[in-house]
Structure 1
Amino acid sequence: MQEFFNVNIEDELSNFLGGNFHQDIESPEQALQDYIDRQSKDWIQILIYCAESFLNSNLSDNEKEEFIESNAEIYFPAIELKPIEWLNNVVEQLKKAVITK
């Protein structure tokens, strides 16, 4: 995958998913809000770039879903979303957060 300002997209996305969406969270929504509250506007913009680059990459949907599922400890049937749909929603919420930060 590409690099943006010396940021490895796959590594950053893996760190974001694994570091914020693990078994000890109250809910995925709360974990995302906690992340938004802790991070700078600039870093959230870099994460948006990483997530969008990943979602728009040439990987198959199956490969993308496997990557998301292997890094985020979320039981997707419980939230009634496929992993790609969920990550797209996360990106949209991050974009809204950048506007208000």
Structure 2
Amino acid sequence: MDEPYDYLEELEDFLGGTFHQDISSPDKALDEFINEASIECLLSTIENCEKFLNSNLTKQEKEIIIQNNAEVYFSAIELNPLQWLNNLVVKMKEGVNIK
């Protein structure tokens, strides 16, 4: 994979490893990730998410990547995948400030 797209692999690992089929809810999974991750890990994850959100991929491509890597029922949480990922970034930034 080209170096500029390393963030994509990291993002996919984060989404798949955190939001898998065995979680009780996306919110609880994120809270657990924030509580267990180091500040460095959180900052790196935030950076990868922001690179992805600001990338030249189309909105549809971004949503497909998120949906393919996170076991989240977006209609149930009443957010589209991009809104959801933006919310994750905000919550992770809050988590960094608390730590």
Question: Where do 1:57-96 residues align within 5 Å?
Answer: 57-96=55-94
Question: Where do 1:12-27 residues align within 5 Å?
Answer: 12-27=10-25
Runs (4 or more) in structure 1 with deviation over 3 Å come to: none
1:6-25 deviation per Cα after TM superposition (whole angstroms, max 9, x unaligned) = xx201110011000101110
Tell me the TM-score normalised to structure 2 length.
0.95
Unaligned runs of 5+ in 1: none
Aligned length, in residue pairs: 97
Aligned CA RMSD, in angstroms, stands at 1.0
More helix by share: 2
Unaligned runs of 5+ in 2: none
In the alignment, what sits opposite 1:51? Answer: 49
| Cα distance in structure 2, aligned partners of 1:38 and 1:26 | 17
Sequence identity, in percent? 48
1:58-83 deviation per Cα after TM superposition (whole angstroms, max 9, x unaligned) = 00000000000000011100000000
